[in-house]
Amino acid sequence: MFKKPTLVLACMFIFLYALNYLTPMAFGDDYVYSFIWQGHSEYEPLTENAERIKSFEDIYISQWSHYFTWSGRVVSHVIAQFFLWTGKDVFNFFNALISVFLVVEIYWCANKGIITYRFNVKRLICIFFMLWAFTAGFSPVFFWLSGACNYLWPAALLLIFLLPYIRKYYFFQEKINYNIWFKFAMFILGLLSGWTNENSICWIILLLFVFIYVNRNKSGLESWMFTGLAGLTMGYLLLMLAPGNIARLNAEVSTAESVFDPETIKAKLRILGTVFLFQFFLWYFNIRSLFLSKKKALSIRKVENERKLVKAICALAFCMSAIMIFSPNFPPRSSFPGTVQLIIATCILLRIQEESAIELVKENAKKFLVSISSLYFFATSAITFYGFHDYYSQMQERLAIIESLDRTSSEIVTISALVPVSENLYTASGFHLLFYEMTENENEWRNVAFARYYGIKGIRMIKQPVVKDDSKLE
């Protein structure tokens, strides 16, 4: 018989697995990264001799080229190319698993870094709901294969690395581990974590450096704290100093106005405003709670220490998103690392309320929020499943057409574009739906990658249905 926390986590897994299953491979990155990297811009079409990833050796060759010609995100893209090689079904399972694990990690981080399997069920559900409701670009982060490998998986990796440091903050005099293998493991975890995300790791490095420096004369310092920080710094340098980053920067800036052009900055500020709008409730709760707990903290030292940590985490969250103004591109999903930090801060404050009898949320307000949150979740979930299933059905129809084709034919295939959901439905889903499209130009990079993947000459996707014959082909 399931214990209640286990049942709740299992339900989360089933929910996320179902949506992963209904998410097709996305035109563009998913198809491009299915091939060994050819050493040119992603926006330049694959050549006819492009080779699919078929082994670990192919992934190594691909990422070596990728690092020097396009991007430094080796860890993220190794994960992506592994799943694109092993198959979407394998990804669906492990991606749902890592999503649930992220919920557990956030719980542990807010639980003073203590790894426990005795969960507060309400808090687990609260974490899951906050991820669902307050993540700008939830579906690209949790369901899009390339997106998940670039944001979800690195976030999970980073939290595993941070857990010992969070525990050390609460129990500084407690010796966590003397084992030389733990020091080495922290270095490797730091290296991998640092080699993942440009806009978040720099702030983590700064915070850990300050933490160690402030406590430099205390006896509780352990060598793993230094090896972990060294690994994190080295990984971040490998990420940022990758030769491919320069090539990508030139390619992306050349297709747009200057990064510092006033109009470009205004556009990014609008995106940042959208991100903060998604996070508004989290920011409101954290700021309000810090004020409410201030008087109590003066008489209870442990509460003041908790408040200092919450302030530091909120500062991290803000910087992780705000720095994207200076990036060539600012997709809302890049704010995900900051959202995770805000959720951790929120959960710390909720725990303080339970342990210190500080009323941060009144009982009648709590009941109201639970009712509204439940209504929002079930409504948006139902609409999201409807939208995902609609796209899945449409995609299956088109893939069936592609699979029935003669691969020796030199004809360019023309199929009708997927019919998008209405703007009203997209909004009602909580902005959780994804959009899939290729162009009418068979030479466009997304079209070419799709054609190479299925071994056809080329493909056009037009917005008006093609009715030339029963197969919908010209």
Residue 265 pLDDT:
84
Do 440 and 392 share a structural domain? Answer: yes
**Together in a domain, 401 and 301:** no
Same domain membership, residue 397 and residue 342: no
Tell whether the model's pLDDT for residue 144 goes beyond 60: yes
Clarify whether residues 308 and 414 are in a common domain.
Answer: no
In a domain, 445, yes or no: yes
- Please tell me the predicted confidence (pLDDT) of residue 167: 96
| Residues 325 and 239 both lie in one domain | yes
Residue 402 sits in which domain range? 380-462
**Residues 145 and 113 both lie in one domain:** yes
Claim to verify: residue 147 and residue 13 sit in the same structural domain:
yes
**For residue range 337-396, what is the model confidence (pLDDT) as tens digits?**
999 999 999 999 999 988 887 888 888 998 999 999 999 999 999 999 999 999 999 999
Number of structural domains in the chain: 2
Long-range contacts of 50-58 (CB under 8 A, 24+ apart): 50/452, 52/85, 52/453, 53/81, 53/84, 53/85, 54/85, 55/85, 58/85
Confidence check: pLDDT of 472 > 80? no
Tell me, yes or no, whether 416 and 276 share the same domain: no
Q: How far apart are the C-alpha atoms of 364 and 355, rounded to whole Å?
A: 20
Domain co-membership, 322 together with 404: no
405 or 293: which carries more pLDDT confidence?
Answer: 405
Domain co-membership, 28 together with 69: yes
Instruction: Answer yes or no: do 306 and 425 share one domain.
Output: no
When pLDDT is cut at 50, 70 and 90, the band that residue 298 belongs to is low
Please report whether residue 281 resides in a domain.
yes
Whether residue 401 is contained in a domain is answered as yes
Question: Does residue 131 belong to any structural domain of this protein?
Answer: yes
The per-residue pLDDT for 464 is: 66
pLDDT at 261 over 50: yes
Kindly indicate the confidence band of residue 442, based on its pLDDT and cuts at 50, 70 and 90.
very high
Specify whether 331 is located in the same domain as 414.
Answer: no
Query: Read out DSSP for 68-99?
Result: HHT-S-HHHHHHHHHHHHH-HHHHHHHHHHHH
Residues 8 and 121 sit within 8 Å (Cβ to Cβ): yes
Structure confidence at residue 82 as a pLDDT band (50, 70, 90): very high
pLDDT above 90 covers a percentage of the chain that reads: 78
- The reported pLDDT for the residue numbered 474 is 37
Would 470 be classed as within a structural domain? Answer: no
| End-of-domain residue from the set 302, 326, 361 | 361
- For residue 375, tell me if it sits in a domain: no
pLDDT for position 219: 86
| Residue 371 resides in a domain | no
pTM of the model: 0.94
pLDDT of 62 reads: 97
Stretch 79-103: mean pLDDT? 98
The answer to whether 317 touches 293, Cβ cutoff 8 Å, is no
pLDDT at 299 > cutoff 70:
no
Q: Would 467 be classed as within a structural domain?
A: no
